[in-house]
Amino acid sequence: MTGSFIINNLAGLLVVTSILIIIVRPISTTIVMYGLQSLVLVMIMFAIGNYFAASELYSWALTAIVTKVILVPLIVFLTYRKMKKANIEGGILPVPVIVIFAALIMLACHFVVQPVKLPLVSELKPVLAVSLGHFLIGLMCIISQRNILKQIFGYCLMENGASLTLALLANRVPKLVEIGITTDAIFAVVVMCYFARRIYCVLHTLDANKLNTLKG
């Protein structure tokens, strides 16, 4: 198998895990799915680094193991553990509709990237389509979910999509920049989990639809 074949198929696996993150109901399962997706992203980074002989991506991938595979799931889990009595609110959209929307997003992104003529991505256009679609699927997760923690994972999906785009198109940026890009998700997740915890302490729910009770 060629390097591009492996990378393209791993990128397809990212889409599958994204859909699972949105549709599975238990938060604990969502956390596991995100950890698995981040692990796939790390594998893609290593594969892209090998494909383009970009050793800079190896340090980026190692940092992503610590931040995305371990720390982000751990932070969300510790937050959720303090709120286990909270109702697990379902999504606004039914599962079949979410799957259809995700498929339409990926189909649209496939056609959007076709005119791109960069030699860098001539054999990796499916990856470019997934990176763009991943961002939009994350946005769909934020819009379609009522549970605040699930919405946080929507942001994480968007961030993973952005990381994949940078790994593909800017794989030779300095290591310090790569590490900074990878670690920014931790600080954002910490802040969002803090506010989720505060909201739960006040309203005793994680249902975003009930936040209107905060209005004075």
Give DSSP secondary structure letters for 90-125. Answer: -BSS-HHHHHHHHHHHHHHHHHHHTT---GGGTT-H
Give the tens place of pLDDT for each residue, 158-168.
999 988 988 88
Question: Apex CA 112: angle with CA 141 and CA 42, to 5°?
Answer: 55
pLDDT value, residue 81: 86
Provide the domain limits for residue 187.
Answer: 3-214
| Residue 207: φ, ψ to 5° | -80, 110
Query: Which amino acid type is present at position 180?
Result: G
Q: How far apart are CA 201 and CA 197, in angstroms?
A: 6
Residue 174 makes CB contacts below 8 A (sequence gap 6+) with 56
| Inter-axis angle of helices 148-169 and 3-23, nearest 10 | 170
Pair 135, 166: CB distance under 8 Å: no
Alpha carbon 159 to its chain centroid, in Å, reads 6
Overall number of domains in the chain: 1
> What does pTM read for this prediction?
0.89
Give the tens place of pLDDT for each residue, 46-100.
999 888 888 878 888 888 899 999 999 999 999 988 776 555 566 677 888 999 9
| Inter-axis angle of helices 148-169 and 72-81, nearest 10 | 180
C-alpha dist (Å) from residue 214 to 92, 143, 197, 199, 208:
21, 20, 15, 9, 11
pLDDT value, residue 34: 95
Q: How far apart are CA 207 and CA 86, in angstroms?
A: 9
pLDDT value, residue 89: 60
Query: Which amino acid type is present at position 171?
Result: N
- Tell whether the model's pLDDT for residue 216 goes beyond 80: no
Q: How far apart are CA 172 and CA 146, in angstroms?
A: 39
Alpha carbon 45 to its chain centroid, in Å, reads 14
| Inter-axis angle of helices 148-169 and 125-144, nearest 10 | 160
Nearest CA among 144, 124, 153 for reference residue 28: 153
Residue 67 makes CB contacts below 8 A (sequence gap 6+) with 182, 183, 185, 186
pLDDT value, residue 199: 86
